[in-house]
Chain A
Amino acid sequence: MTLLRTVGLTKRFGGVTAVDDLSIELGDVGITALIGPNGAGKTTAFNLLCGVLPPSSGTVEFRGRDVTGQPPHRIAVLGMARTFQNLELFGDMSVRDNVMVGAGAHLRGGIVSAALRLPRHRSDERAARERSDAVLERLGLGDVADRPASDLPYGLQRRVELARALATDPALLLLDEPMAGLSGGEAAEVAGAVRAIGVPTLIVEHHVETVMALSDRVLVLNFGRLLADGTPAEVRADPAVVEAYLGAEDAA
């Protein structure tokens, strides 16, 4: 079944076309990598998918619904969660509170039930708390749940972002360079965690070898355009990819 479909997705910033006529389709299983040289438009593509940026033209369809131009919170509630290349944690909130913001995505109780401590508020809090604690345990963050997120070392902060995204109970996970700045061992841990999570994932990553090993399918972007689409083996053998990207990296 198709989970995500973009048709002719394009984003122009002034004279620069960051994403150019991107048409992709993702099924509801597996891990798909989105790779490409710096400035290829990977992060912009993410921002278009999750509603942070409106596209210049083209459409995004998610779980059978046209979500083009919808605000991020609506797309998030529909089941798309993401992490950020430059961490966007809620720094002085505790790790648990960070994750509880994500867990609150599907709760409906508002300011009135909170102000008056209605039963609705209590059941909401309990649900958010239980969901958060389960996710924290699963990602090995139980011991640091009460610490301010900004107190944690960088590797753990990356994991908190992943936990926060998972707490929204996503149907599709977008990971923007989840291994950036991590050591080889930490990167392998993240890869293992992503595998174990089992949620369909679209992942942007510069650790090419790690991501090739992790992914079922690889999309290659170059100058905002889709250059290749196939299994890791197919993409690795594609002369255009080798010339634009992989070859250059090997030479470096």
Chain B
Amino acid sequence: MSWPWRLAGWALFVLAGPALLALAGQVPFLTSGRLVFLAITALAAVGLCLIMGFAGQVSLGHAAFYAVGAYASGILTAGYGVPPIVALLAGMVLAGAAAAGVARAVFRVSGHFLAMATLAFGLILYYSLGHFRTVTGGNAGRGGIPKLAIGSWEATTDTRMFLLCWALVVLGVLVARNVVDSRTGRALRATGASEVAAGCCGVNVVRAKVGVFVLGALYAAVAGSLYAHYVTYIAPEEFGLLKSIQFLVVATVGGLTSVWGGPVGAVVLVLLTEASREAIPLFVEGATGPYELTIYGLVLVVVLLLFNRGIAGGIAHAWRARGRGGGGDPEPLAEDATGRPVPREVAP
């Protein structure tokens, strides 16, 4: 894509934040409070897209890094009076160290060990949060967490908090794009296509994967920190397996192999679940309770049937196909003569 298109894409993305706020003022089912959760989910999902789409590893424990960020912020600010920004950075350091430990231990062996290891890490952390009451507040949770403040600026309203979170989503996507479009990104895409050939080109496959896994965990930590400061109360139930799976669905629906996958998936899923909360009781009398999971499952199936790269991946693919069909590229030279299956696509 040429630069005017790219610039237009970024402008659209930045402006989507205020546009969502405007929408929340117009429709009954959406509040600016829900938008804060949308942005937090989007941020965590950008990190998960890096881990799953680029390091090629299934993570079933993304909520664990989210928890590390949230509890670091909650405990340090409410318990020790540390400024929120410092606590947020501390959460990133802790989550990064935990991710490096998990990744280093399992990337040496190939296969599905990482999925199992992340699952185990998530479950251990989840039960620990309930168990170590003096530090975490146990299952009752921990309250009294201050609102996020940067110097004298305080995120006292939902609108302020949402705009801050959206700015961080934009920044997060920018950083992800920078990594994908670099030596590390090329090394990871190469590894996805042929691990042997990548190694013989000097790519340290383990180091590249550990690096991206740690980076992805940092996104979750920041998201967790934002959550703690927004809700001002944290308890283990927010950080269980269900949350990890929610992140997984958001990232997959948005598009694992696209840096835009996180925000796209979060917008689509949050808007649909919120709208359905309003709409379903109109059709099914007496229906109450959480529809979220049903909607998540449904959207996941529909999206994967329509575009196997997720929504953002599907759009990127269609855009390139349009470019080719419109004569933008010269004629294809020939077929792949080896008849090898073309490796899974990774859209920048």
**Which A residues lie at the B interface, using CB under 8 A?**
50-52, 71-73, 76-77, 81-82, 84, 86-93, 97-98, 100-102, 104-107, 109-111, 114-117, 121, 124-125, 128, 144, 147, 150-154, 156-157, 164-165, 168, 181
Q: Report which of B190, B202, B212 forms a contact with A77, defined as CB distance below 8 A.
A: B202
**B198 part of interface (Cβ distance < 8 Å):** yes
Query: Would A125 and B190 count as touching, CB distance under 8 A?
Result: no
Query: Would A125 and B183 count as touching, CB distance under 8 A?
Result: yes
Query: Would A102 and B342 count as touching, CB distance under 8 A?
Result: no
Set of chain A residues within 8 Å of B212, measured between Cβ atoms: 111
**B197 part of interface (Cβ distance < 8 Å):** yes
In the bound complex, what is the Cα–Cα distance between A76 and B202 (angstroms)?
5
Query: Would A91 and B200 count as touching, CB distance under 8 A?
Result: no
In the bound complex, what is the Cα–Cα distance between A8 and B332 (angstroms)?
49
In the bound complex, what is the Cα–Cα distance between A147 and B336 (angstroms)?
13
Q: Which 6 A-B pairs have the closest CB atoms?
A: A105-B202, A114-B182, A154-B337, A72-B199, A88-B197, A153-B334
Q: Report which of B186, B205, B215 forms a contact with A97, defined as CB distance below 8 A.
A: B186
Q: How far, in Å, is A156 (CB) from chain B's closest CB?
A: 7
Set of chain B residues within 8 Å of A92, measured between Cβ atoms: 193, 342-343, 345-346
In the bound complex, what is the Cα–Cα distance between A249 and B285 (angstroms)?
82
Query: Would A153 and B337 count as touching, CB distance under 8 A?
Result: yes
Q: Which of B164-219 contact A (CB under 8 A)?
A: 175, 178-179, 182-187, 189-190, 193-194, 196-205, 207-208, 211-212, 215
Query: Would A114 and B193 count as touching, CB distance under 8 A?
Result: no
Set of chain B residues within 8 Å of A107, measured between Cβ atoms: 183
Q: Report which of A72, A98, A181 forms a contact with B196, defined as CB distance below 8 A.
A: A72
Query: Would B187 and A115 count as touching, CB distance under 8 A?
Result: no
Q: How far, in Å, is A81 (CB) from chain B's closest CB?
A: 7
Q: Given A87-B338, A88-B194, A154-B338, is A71 in contact with B182 using a C-beta cutoff of 8 Å?
A: no
Which residue on chain B has the smallest CB distance to residue A112?
A: B211
Query: Would A101 and B343 count as touching, CB distance under 8 A?
Result: no
**Which B residues lie at the A interface, using CB under 8 A?**
175, 178-179, 182-187, 189-190, 193-194, 196-205, 207-208, 211-212, 215, 329, 332-334, 336-338, 340, 342-343, 345-346
In the bound complex, what is the Cα–Cα distance between A91 and B192 (angstroms)?
10
Q: Given A101-B203, A114-B178, A153-B333, is A91 in contact with B343 using a C-beta cutoff of 8 Å?
A: yes
Query: Would B343 and A115 count as touching, CB distance under 8 A?
Result: no
Query: Would A164 and B183 count as touching, CB distance under 8 A?
Result: no
Query: Would B201 and A156 count as touching, CB distance under 8 A?
Result: no
Given contacts A111-B215, A168-B201, 15 further A-B contacts (CB under 8 A): A50-B200, A71-B204, A76-B199, A87-B340, A92-B343, A93-B190, A100-B183, A105-B203, A111-B212, A114-B182, A116-B175, A121-B182, A125-B182, A153-B333, A154-B336
In the assembled complex, 15 residue pairs joining A and B whose CB atoms fall closer than 8 Å, in A order, are A72-B199, A73-B199, A88-B196, A89-B194, A90-B197, A92-B343, A97-B186, A104-B201, A116-B175, A116-B178, A125-B183, A128-B183, A150-B336, A152-B334, A154-B334
Set of chain A residues within 8 Å of B338, measured between Cβ atoms: 86-87, 154, 157
In the bound complex, what is the Cα–Cα distance between A166 and B343 (angstroms)?
23
Q: How far, in Å, is A89 (CB) from chain B's closest CB?
A: 7
Query: Would A110 and B196 count as touching, CB distance under 8 A?
Result: no
In the bound complex, what is the Cα–Cα distance between A161 and B203 (angstroms)?
15
Q: How far, in Å, is A174 (CB) from chain B's closest CB?
A: 9
Query: Would B197 and A84 count as touching, CB distance under 8 A?
Result: yes
Query: Would A152 and B333 count as touching, CB distance under 8 A?
Result: yes
Q: How far, in Å, is B339 (CB) from chain A's closest CB?
A: 10
Q: How far, in Å, is B244 (CB) from chain A's closest CB?
A: 23
In the bound complex, what is the Cα–Cα distance between A97 and B203 (angstroms)?
14
Kindly name the residue among A71, A114, A181 whose own CB sees the greatest number of chain B CB atoms within 10 A. Answer: A114
Set of chain B residues within 8 Å of A104, measured between Cβ atoms: 183, 186-187, 201-203
In the bound complex, what is the Cα–Cα distance between A239 and B184 (angstroms)?
52
In the bound complex, what is the Cα–Cα distance between A219 and B208 (angstroms)?
38
Q: How far, in Å, is A148 (CB) from chain B's closest CB?
A: 9
Query: Would A150 and B342 count as touching, CB distance under 8 A?
Result: yes
In the bound complex, what is the Cα–Cα distance between A91 and B212 (angstroms)?
22
Set of chain A residues within 8 Å of B178, measured between Cβ atoms: 114-117, 121
Query: Would A114 and B202 count as touching, CB distance under 8 A?
Result: no
Query: Would A110 and B334 count as touching, CB distance under 8 A?
Result: no
Query: Would A101 and B342 count as touching, CB distance under 8 A?
Result: no
Q: How far, in Å, is B167 (CB) from chain A's closest CB?
A: 17
In the bound complex, what is the Cα–Cα distance between A115 and B189 (angstroms)?
16
Query: Would A114 and B184 count as touching, CB distance under 8 A?
Result: yes
Q: Report which of A114, A154, A168 forms a contact with B179, defined as CB distance below 8 A.
A: A114
Query: Would A90 and B190 count as touching, CB distance under 8 A?
Result: yes
Kindly name the residue among A91, A106, A121, A154 whose own CB sees the greatest number of chain B CB atoms within 10 A. Answer: A91
Q: Given A52-B196, A90-B189, A117-B178, is A101 in contact with B201 using a C-beta cutoff of 8 Å?
A: yes
Q: Given A73-B205, A168-B201, is A90 in contact with B194 using a C-beta cutoff of 8 Å?
A: yes
In the bound complex, what is the Cα–Cα distance between A140 and B183 (angstroms)?
24
Q: Report which of A91, A98, A106, A110 forms a contact with B202, defined as CB distance below 8 A.
A: A106
Q: Given A111-B184, A114-B178, A151-B333, is A89 in contact with B199 using a C-beta cutoff of 8 Å?
A: no
In the bound complex, what is the Cα–Cα distance between A108 and B348 (angstroms)?
22
Q: How far, in Å, is A97 (CB) from chain B's closest CB?
A: 6
Set of chain B residues within 8 Å of A181, measured between Cβ atoms: 337
In the bound complex, what is the Cα–Cα distance between A92 and B343 (angstroms)?
7
Q: Given A77-B202, A104-B186, A117-B178, is A89 in contact with B193 using a C-beta cutoff of 8 Å?
A: yes
In the bound complex, what is the Cα–Cα distance between A150 and B341 (angstroms)?
10
